[in-house]
Structure 1
């Protein structure tokens, strides 16, 4: 690897490289050497910017969680438009077609990473927990608009949607689920809380 060449936005370059390795080869292939090779930089670059590889991975996971903010805003803005089922199916498909589904086994795979994440994220797997929060916020907005029943326990519905859809998308090496399957899962979970209006 060339040395002495300034790299702009090193952290972002390394995070993007980690995402590509994770999506292509899975969590067991995600090493500091694989990341720096993918990023086209010397291995020492990663260690100059992060305490160790697990610190890098923790920041990578949290960075990808913060990227969900745009998805959350778009879903909240969709409240009152289209149908609740279609809005949820589209949001869940986008979520699970992203790096989110690959982050789950990464966090499960690495004990030291889980321990580091617990410092800032005391419960759950960050990307799935954040997804449940964003779905819950959307369902709350729909409840406020009268499209979800007033007594709906939106946090429980959101968590159930995340779990059910994660099962559909969990095999990242297989064929992604058909949109009709995602929609059917959403209908199954939310049918009891949808209003008829």
Structure 2
């Protein structure tokens, strides 16, 4: 008798199931049993696609980092005012599963060690998000929409830290968009012409 059902795109379904478990139960809830139960498959399916739980979680973090590439393209293509654009990008980042992924990286030593081999500096995902914002701010500086003396790297890291604190510990409740814009405007106040 089969122990599970046939899955299309099993790898993607397992990643999606891991996201749902993480969102609903936090890092401690992430077990191979919980993920395969959520995906509706046998544990053997998970082990056919991933060597172990941390391998699956590395893939989850890498998937979130790849999504930043799409967000960066959206930032580069737009020409809306800087403050609401940055606020929207940070809300997209922290309003999704990314905030939970950061907690996961902090909570799991084995995962963090594996990610260090891929992303040796900073906190994976946050480091790439800061690079995305820095690139956007540098482009805006080149267009004259940010002061020439502005340091995009410092601004990006400050924005990531500030807005991360506004989203952290809210149990799924997002801060009001006006609050996020106010924080972004405060960080960028000395850098806007």
Q: Same fold (TM over 0.5)?
A: yes
CA distance in 1, matches of 2:94, 2:108: 21
Residue 72 of structure 2: aligned partner: 72
Residue 183 of structure 2: aligned partner: 185
Residue 98 of structure 1: aligned partner: 96
Residue 58 of structure 1: aligned partner: 58
CA distance in 2, matches of 1:113, 1:119: 10
- What is the RMSD of the two structures over their aligned residues, measured on CA atoms? 1.4
Q: Deviations over 1:96-118 (max 9, x none)?
A: 11111000110011000000000
Residue 165 of structure 2: aligned partner: 167
Change (3 A) 1:83 1:49: same
Superposed structure 1 runs of 4+ greater than 6 Å apart:
none
Q: Deviations over 1:41-86 (max 9, x none)?
A: 00111112111111111111111211221111101112xx221111
TM (normalized to structure 2)?
0.95
Q: How many residues align?
A: 193
> Contact 2:32–2:53 at 8 Å: present in 1 too?
yes
Decide which of 103, 107, 110 is 2:108's aligned counterpart: 110
CA distance in 2, matches of 1:106, 1:23: 11
> Contact 2:13–2:39 at 8 Å: present in 1 too?
yes
CA distance in 2, matches of 1:66, 1:2: 35
CA distance in 2, matches of 1:191, 1:91: 18
TM (normalized to structure 1)?
0.93
Decide which of 122, 137, 140 is 2:138's aligned counterpart: 140
> Contact 2:4–2:42 at 8 Å: present in 1 too?
no
Gap regions ≥5 residues in structure 2? none
Gap regions ≥5 residues in structure 1? none
